[in-house]
Amino acid sequence: MINNPYSRGAVLLAVLLLASGCAQVVKDTRPAEELVAERADARWAALIDGQWQQAYDLLTPGYRSATSFDSYRMNLLTRKINWTAAKTTAVTCESSEKCTARVKIDYALVGGLPGVSRVTSSANAEETWLRLDGQWLHLPNKTGR
């Protein structure tokens, strides 16, 4: 048993260093297309569920530096469109750092036409995804979506 507080600290430090040295960083070796599809689906799931911070965190640092979270959230909250479902249908990678995801989005337009309270439809969107510091992040188009 170690009674000296300095010795206990040294032992604890040694154990922590040993444990961190044994921990391996596991690199995801799946194809970029699969990784981007997963990230795009996760972002759309966050948007549909109103998890604005999760969706915002999947945007590129450049976009986030130009658009505050509060501005991003208010833009989403003031739209007259409710996204109801989304699914990535295809991903094409132009390089190891840039991919385009094609996403089918189901939505409802609220109060868009006189006498019609709700119109439902679907659309296809193309999204740009960039690999930055090992992570795939979405670069929104000019509408901020």
Partner residues linked to 137 by β-bridges: 130
pLDDT for 92 equals 98
Strands 135-139 and 81-93: unpaired
Give pTM, 2 decimals: 0.76
> Which tokens is 17 given?
């260093």
Q: How many CB atoms lie within 10 A of CB 47?
A: 19
Residue 59 is classified by DSSP as B
Report d(CA 117, CA 109) in Å as an integer: 8
CATH fold of the domain at 29-139: Nuclear Transport Factor 2; Chain: A, (3.10.450)
Q: What is the pLDDT of residues 96-142, one digit of tens each?
A: 999 999 999 999 987 766 777 778 999 999 999 999 999 999 999 86
Domain ranges of the chain: 29-139
Partner residues linked to 48 by β-bridges: none
